[in-house]
Amino acid sequence: MPNLLPARATQQRLAIKKVASGKSFWGHARYVLSDNPFTLVAAGLFTLFVLMAVIGPWIAPYDPLATNVGPTLQPPSASHWFGTDSLGRDILSRVVVATRIDFVIALSAVLASFVIGGLIGACAGYFGGWLDRIVIRLTDMVMSFPLFVLAMGIVAALGNSVFNIIIATAVVNLPFYIRVARTEVNVRREAGFVEAARLAGNGDARILLLHLIPNAMPPMMVQVSLNMGWAILNAAGLSFIGLGVSPPAAEWGIMVAEGATYIISGEWWVALFPGAVLMLAVFTFNLLGDGLRDLIDPRRRT
Amino acid sequence: MTSLKRRSLLKAASLTPVAASALAVGEAAAQDRKDTLIMANEFGPNMLDIHGLGANRPSYGVAWNVYDRLMTYGRKKLPDGSMMYDYSKLEPELAERWKMDADGMGVTFYLRKNAKFHDGTPVTAADVKWSLDRALGMGGFPTFQMKAGSLEDPSQFKVVDDHTVHVKFVRKDKLSMPDLGVPVASIYNSQLAKKHATEKDPWAAEWLKNNTAGGGAYKVASFKPGQELVLERYDDWKSGPLPKIKRIIQRDIPSAGNRRALLLRGDIDMTYSLPPKDFADFAGDKGKIKVTSLPVENALFYLGMNTTKPPFNNVKVRQAVAYALPYDKIFDSAFYGRGIKQSGGTNDPKTPAWPQPHGYKTDLARAKQLMAESGIGPIETVLSYDLGSATVGEPTAILVQEALAQIGIKLTLNKVPGATWRAALLKKDMPIILNRFGGWLNYPEYFFFWCYHSQDAVFNTMSYKNPTLDKLITNARFAESKPLYDGMVKDMIKLAYEEVPRIPLVQPMMDVAMQPNITGYTYWFHLEPDYRQLVKGANPAAA
Amino acid sequence: MLLIAKRLAGALPNLFGIVLITFLLTRALPGDPAAFFAGGAGSQEAVEQVREKLGLNRSLPEQFWIYVKDLARGDLGQALSTGQPVGAEILSRLPASLELVLASLLFSVSIAIPLGIAAARRPNSWIDHACRLVTTAGVSLPTFFTGLLLAYVFYFVLGWAPSPIGRLDPYLSPPATVTGLYTLDALIAGDVKLFFAALRQMVLPVLTLGIFVLAPLARMTRASMLSVLSADFIRTARASGLSTTSVLVRYALRNALLPVVTTLGMVFSFLLGMSVIVEKVFAWPGVGSFALEALVASDYAPVQGFVLTMAVLYTLLNLAIDLLYVVIDPRVRLGS
């Protein structure tokens, strides 16, 4: 859920909204949620996923790494709800435990690019000059590469590991956050409240951190949710071409990539269940992103 | 004639040639299908020259079908009906006969007088000398393959006259003659090649990457690296019986699932790169898809341990690992039974057969005891395997990781891509690996020479050095009598199994899947398809 | 004119940066191409020889300078695994990738825009929600999964789709090369049968790629259509009695399409990136599959060439979109 810091400027905005629409923040939230039922569903699913990520290893019926807990390649049955894979591992346990890895990848990558990108962009937009020009150039250069191609190159260069996948995803997402933060800060650089803060004796750092950046956050936050969904798909694509996480780790993408070869021979469950859960997770992130956008900035509602 | 009628007449007239040509195309297509074979594999040749730097395995297949050699091997039929090459029978190909020198230190080849290259140039002894010199001159794999048969210096090859060549042996090596029948010893059209040679490139290496100068049963109609290779029969081929199939289309289809689907729906005729599971499925379900299977000769998939560094320089640790491995699970889950299990035999061989199963089997108690005896505490290290063989390598690695965890060895898995794998093998710094090695010439001492001898060739991935074993290997290579030879080989194997620097897991199977109307498939040591023997029968009831 | 020239000049430093990043990235690739190509039994000296031959033992700045010089001459180096010049390989394979990407763009645009319009006309209706659900579903699955699933259902099970065997049935020969796009070349040659044969082979891969980008296009169309439809001039048009169609098409759509054109840039980037995966699944002989094989073999020249090509293509496309904006949006032309 968006963490709106109680910066003075934001409070001003809320106060204005309150006066204008006669509703509180939560009243507004309730209105948005009721208007678009999917957001509610998405929020619920998201909570479920987070729960699974946290308590997953404890509720999994079998050890996700243990081979031959059941006969190999068995279709879903009473003892193995999602069936077993080619090494006799329980697919349900693996899918549940994979939630943690995938969420960690998605969250870390996006958080890293959000924080780092936000800071860089804000500084560039605030200080301007040569810093701004360099940042713009670098951002443009990185943005010239199709996202997946760049991620592919980075993971291939650094090696297959969860950490490197996170780095690659973070790098690929940086430009967007840099740009947005820069624009938002740039626009408000000369605003009244900033002048006031400066006159009051606040240093640049305080102005940036306490006043400008919080205002830049809302448009960035919307993208966070969408980027998390994309991060998971990215990891899956990398797994397919052999640049994913190392075995025997359970990660949705690599389970789908491995299971894909069994579709034609009829063992549909090996790919379908991780694929369905992956799709549901990304779906949730996408819908959540929509909902966040509606909540935070109704003008940008799509 | 009204304008309407005229228009419709015109229309009909204009459509007729289209219709007629469509019909003709349809007929031609049907005829095409009978004379064309479509082969789909994961990847195809990366160049057309087997001597080229970095030529991959499918390019050996190009050499085999598009070029001739002095001799080829005979074929034999196995009890179950499948055909394989007979390494004990050398037969004429480009040379119609040959005569060994009286002292056994040389041989004279008499070439066919009517053999011509694809461009019509007659084949002469000068071409043979140029080609054999080239194999030595290009360096890399072809050179070391020639050396394996003591063919080391261009001075060994002499042109006697236009159709006679003499090859001198520098020592008595039983592999010299067979070595002249391997794909590397292909005969090139030297006149054509020399036209494209330059001062910096005397062997025309650049031009021959994408062009051929051969005289074999097939010629290259088109080559698009990474996509497709099309071969057409050379109707003037004189070095053997003319092949039945006129056209071969080899397509690269990277997705294994799609290859399976294409095969089942009848859209391709043959494939030999499928995961073992698919072969097991097809073999079990007789009738729909034909599978021929033969164990790959002189080849082993193994777990190797670096003997120069701790912890695996301690023989008790290695033996402990050998007792901890889940051989049956690996055989079933990674290989789906496609191969010959290498455990459960004996460490004191009674026959000089190779490969033969070792005496280790899964016995965790024994393994733990050996670990205790070794005096080395819990171990944490990295197990590496390569991306190219991940289909069997990965499940094996996971099973090995799980098993060794139970005797106090914690492994992290490391999947290594192509170029890095070769480099790492060369550097010899990986503590424990999964790898596969196979030799073309089916002799145990040949295998041991590359894999166990202290010359530390790249294939001796364990860097194993043991002077006793070296002596046994050398004696076996040049043994004069059969009983002596058998004894050496048995001792060789016994020592290798006791010391166990590498643990053989499975002797892999060479599986090929094809439509039931394809016959004549023969297993060759180079594991590439020999299209010259294939026959495509009447269309089966297509899907 | 000046604007166009300015834009072009602005793209140049970008291109240099792309070249630099590409070079660094591919030199950072692990693995020793020298060892790979020294062959199976290469000893250390053999590897050193190969390394010398490949110029890998020079310093990094030196290598970069050589690279830039070659690039200026149009020499993208040689693929070590095939020995072919990379430039020629990429040029010969590029049409295949472009054909796929352009067809996918056409396909998704022709579905997403009407969908977006329909959703905008009846916001929050079931059409709107259905549009959102369907497009979001399309973008929530990994492309290789969609591709393999489609191949399984429509080729293997139902037999409706043609075999995933590449650009053309093996028994047919490709048309004479004019553009390199089989469909166009077949039409140019007047061979209708070949045109349809090539088109058929494209169905599954285009569907796979296109489904993935429906969402951003539909979404943007809907959003911008919504904002345009609520504008005053639309109300005036309706009040003046103009029919719904003419209002939609002649007035609303034209204005609404502007932001969609911007989204096309991002969509194109997605398509270029995902085409690597789709090419692998459907054995499509494009630059993506070429680069993938090279990546695994640590064959840096093709990977370099591929990344460079993709980046240059993308930059050119963005430039084209920028210029398109200058042409079609009078506000941009007059405003600046």
| Cα dist from B503 to B318, B327, B385, C300, whole Å | 9, 10, 15, 35
Hey, is A74 helix, strand or coil?
coil
CB C275 within 8 A of CB C289: no
The one-digit pLDDT tens for each residue of chain B (543 residues) are 444 445 444 444 444 444 444 444 444 455 677 889 999 999 899 899 999 877 888 999 999 999 999 999 999 998 888 899 998 899 999 999 999 999 989 999 999 999 999 999 999 999 999 999 999 998 878 888 898 888 999 999 999 999 999 999 998 888 899 999 999 999 999 999 999 999 988 999 989 999 999 999 999 999 988 889 999 999 999 999 999 999 999 999 988 888 999 999 999 999 998 999 999 999 888 768 999 999 999 999 999 999 998 899 999 999 999 999 999 999 999 999 999 999 999 999 999 999 999 999 999 999 999 999 998 889 999 999 988 788 899 999 999 999 999 999 999 998 887 667 877 887 888 999 999 998 888 889 889 988 998 888 778 889 999 999 999 988 888 888 889 999 999 999 999 999 999 999 999 999 999 999 999 999 999 999 999 999 998 765 444
Paired with B232 in beta bridges are B219, B247
Using CA coordinates, name the residue in chain B closest to A161. Answer: B414
Cβ atoms within 10 Å of C127's Cβ, excluding its own: 15
Using CA coordinates, name the residue in chain C closest to B257. Answer: C148
**CA dist., res. C188 & res. C323, Å (int):** 29
**CA dist., res. B203 & res. B140, Å (int):** 14
**CA dist., res. B486 & res. C113, Å (int):** 78
Q: Across the interface, do C276 and A148 touch by the CB < 8 Å criterion?
A: yes
- C136 burial type by CB count under 10 A (0-12 exposed, 13-18 middle, 19+ buried): buried
Neighbours of chain A (3+ CB pairs under 8 A): B, C
Point out the residue among B281, B395, B412 whose CB comes nearest to the CB of A265.
Answer: B281
A to C CB pairs, distance under 8 Å? 134
DSSP state at residue B249: E
So what's the pLDDT on residue A302?
46
Q: A183 CB contacts (<8 Å, ≥6 apart)?
A: A121, A125
Strand ranges for A1-105 from DSSP E: none
Backbone angles phi, psi at B510, to 5 degrees: -95, 100
Q: Across the interface, do C18 and A145 touch by the CB < 8 Å criterion?
A: yes
Range from A178-187, C100-109, C323-332 carrying the lowest mean pLDDT: C323-332
Neighbours of chain B (3+ CB pairs under 8 A): A, C
So what's the pLDDT on residue B329?
94
pLDDT band at C33 (very low <50, low <70, confident <90, very high): low
So what's the pLDDT on residue C270?
85
So what's the pLDDT on residue B20?
43
pTM, full prediction = 0.84
Cβ atoms within 10 Å of A12's Cβ, excluding its own: 11
pLDDT band at C31 (very low <50, low <70, confident <90, very high): low
So what's the pLDDT on residue A33?
64
| Cα dist from C327 to C9, C109, C260, C318, whole Å | 18, 21, 15, 14
Judging contacts by C-beta atoms under 8 Å, the chain C residues touching residue B226 are: 82, 285, 289-290, 293
A127 vs B11 pLDDT, higher one = A127
Is the pLDDT assigned to residue A20 strictly greater than 90? no
So what's the pLDDT on residue A9?
55
So what's the pLDDT on residue A34?
65
Q: C181 CB contacts (<8 Å, ≥6 apart)?
A: C95, C98, C99, C102
For chain B, say whether C297 makes contact (Cβ under 8 Å): yes
What's the residue count for chain A? 302
Q: Across the interface, do A65 and B402 touch by the CB < 8 Å criterion?
A: yes
CB A161 within 8 A of CB A105: no
DSSP state at residue A75: P
Tokens of C42: 């290469």
So what's the pLDDT on residue C318?
80
**CA dist., res. B156 & res. C201, Å (int):** 54
**CA dist., res. A239 & res. A258, Å (int):** 9
CB B176 within 8 A of CB B121: no
Range from B343-357, C88-102, C322-336 carrying the lowest mean pLDDT: C322-336
For chain B, say whether A34 makes contact (Cβ under 8 Å): no
DSSP string, B290-352: EEEEEEPTTEEEEEEE-TTSTTTTSHHHHHHHHHH--HHHIIIIITTT-EEE--SS-SS-SS-
**Mean pLDDT for all residues in chain C:** 82
Q: Across the interface, do A87 and B398 touch by the CB < 8 Å criterion?
A: yes
Query: CA of C192 to nearest chain A CA: how many angstroms apart?
Result: 33
Q: Across the interface, do B254 and C151 touch by the CB < 8 Å criterion?
A: no
Type of residue at A153: G
- C310 burial type by CB count under 10 A (0-12 exposed, 13-18 middle, 19+ buried): buried
Hey, is B519 helix, strand or coil?
strand
Reading across the β-sheet that carries B71-77, which strands appear in turn? Answer: B71-77, B83-92, B522-523
**CA dist., res. B382 & res. B403, Å (int):** 14
Point out the residue among B264, B275, B394 whose CB comes nearest to the CB of A261.
Answer: B275
DSSP string, C17-49: HHHHHHHHHHHT--S-HHHHHT-TT--HHHHHH
Query: CA of C268 to nearest chain B CA: how many angstroms apart?
Result: 25
So what's the pLDDT on residue B27?
44
- B389 burial type by CB count under 10 A (0-12 exposed, 13-18 middle, 19+ buried): middle
Helix axes A129-143, A91-127, angle to 10 degrees: 150
Cis amide linkage into residue A248, ω under 30° from 0: yes
Supply the ipTM of this predicted assembly.
0.81
**Mean pLDDT for all residues in chain A:** 82
Judging contacts by C-beta atoms under 8 Å, the chain A residues touching residue B277 are: 86, 265
Is the pLDDT assigned to residue A94 strictly greater than 90? yes
Q: Where are the alpha helices (DSSP H) in C41-172?
A: 44-54, 60-72, 86-121, 126-139, 143-150
Q: Across the interface, do A279 and C21 touch by the CB < 8 Å criterion?
A: no
B to C CB pairs, distance under 8 Å? 149
**CA dist., res. C81 & res. C36, Å (int):** 9
Of A273, A260, A279, nearest to A82 by C-alpha is: A273
The mean per-residue pLDDT over the stretch C82-105 comes to 88
Q: Across the interface, do B140 and C38 touch by the CB < 8 Å criterion?
A: yes
Q: Across the interface, do C270 and A157 touch by the CB < 8 Å criterion?
A: no
Cβ atoms within 10 Å of B519's Cβ, excluding its own: 14
Q: Report, in angstroms and rounded to the nearest whole number, the Rg of chain A calculated over CA atoms.
A: 22
**CA dist., res. B9 & res. A289, Å (int):** 63
Q: C213 CB contacts (<8 Å, ≥6 apart)?
A: C104, C105, C108, C112, C139, C267, C270, C271
DSSP state at residue B528: S
pLDDT digits (tens, 9 = 90+) for A186-199: 877 777 777 888 88
CB A13 within 8 A of CB A299: no
Query: CA of B510 to nearest chain A CA: how many angstroms apart?
Result: 20
Using CA coordinates, name the residue in chain C closest to B425. Answer: C35
Q: Across the interface, do C273 and A283 touch by the CB < 8 Å criterion?
A: no
pLDDT digits (tens, 9 = 90+) for A205-220: 777 777 777 777 777 7
**CA dist., res. B460 & res. B454, Å (int):** 8
CB B232 within 8 A of CB B219: yes
Judging contacts by C-beta atoms under 8 Å, the chain C residues touching residue A256 are: 142, 145
Judging contacts by C-beta atoms under 8 Å, the chain A residues touching residue C311 are: 144-146
So what's the pLDDT on residue B16?
45
Strand-pair category, B290-295 with B432-438: unpaired
**CA dist., res. B488 & res. B500, Å (int):** 18
**CA dist., res. B5 & res. B542, Å (int):** 44
Query: CA of B102 to nearest chain C CA: how many angstroms apart?
Result: 35
CB B93 within 8 A of CB B70: yes
Is the pLDDT assigned to residue A2 strictly greater than 80? no
Q: Across the interface, do A87 and B333 touch by the CB < 8 Å criterion?
A: yes
So what's the pLDDT on residue C120?
83
Backbone angles phi, psi at A9, to 5 degrees: -65, -45
- B316 burial type by CB count under 10 A (0-12 exposed, 13-18 middle, 19+ buried): middle
Q: Across the interface, do C35 and B25 touch by the CB < 8 Å criterion?
A: no
Highest mean pLDDT among A45-59, B23-37, C229-243 belongs to A45-59
Point out the residue among A65, A247, A261 whose CB comes nearest to the CB of B257.
Answer: A261
Interface of B with C in 394-423 (CB under 8 A): 417-423
- C210 burial type by CB count under 10 A (0-12 exposed, 13-18 middle, 19+ buried): buried
Query: CA of B66 to nearest chain C CA: how many angstroms apart?
Result: 18
So what's the pLDDT on residue B21?
44
